[in-house]
Amino acid sequence: MLLTPIWLPTPAAALALGRSTSYLKRLRDTHGGFLESGKHYCVAPSSNAPITWHVELVRQELNRRGMEG
């Protein structure tokens, strides 16, 4: 059975991950972090559109990095 990935806007993703919205935004590769655009999060061409996050991939990456640390 294939599951559709869950992409959530920043506030809902932060809540689902137990992190703050600002923390998630700082983790983006465009801001020196390790989360990759198009894989872990997506932006829309409109400047006022929300960033959406692939919650499960972000969770996996946070866990992987936490285990290394």
Domain 7-68: which topology?
Answer: Multidrug-efflux Transporter Regulator; Chain: A; Domain 2 (1.10.1660)
pLDDT of residue 11: 97
- Structural contact between residues 13 and 54, judged by C-beta atoms closer than 8 angstroms: no
pLDDT of residue 65: 87
Query: Rounded to a whole number, what is the distance in angstroms from the first to the last CA of the chain?
Result: 34
pLDDT of residue 66: 83
Rounded-to-integer distance, Cα 45 and Cα 58, Å: 22
pLDDT of residue 2: 58
| Cα dist from 50 to 21, 29, 43, 69, whole Å | 12, 17, 7, 31
Average pLDDT per run of 10 along the chain, which is 69 residues long? 80 96 96 96 91 96 86
Record the tokens describing residue 28, joined without a space. 């983006």
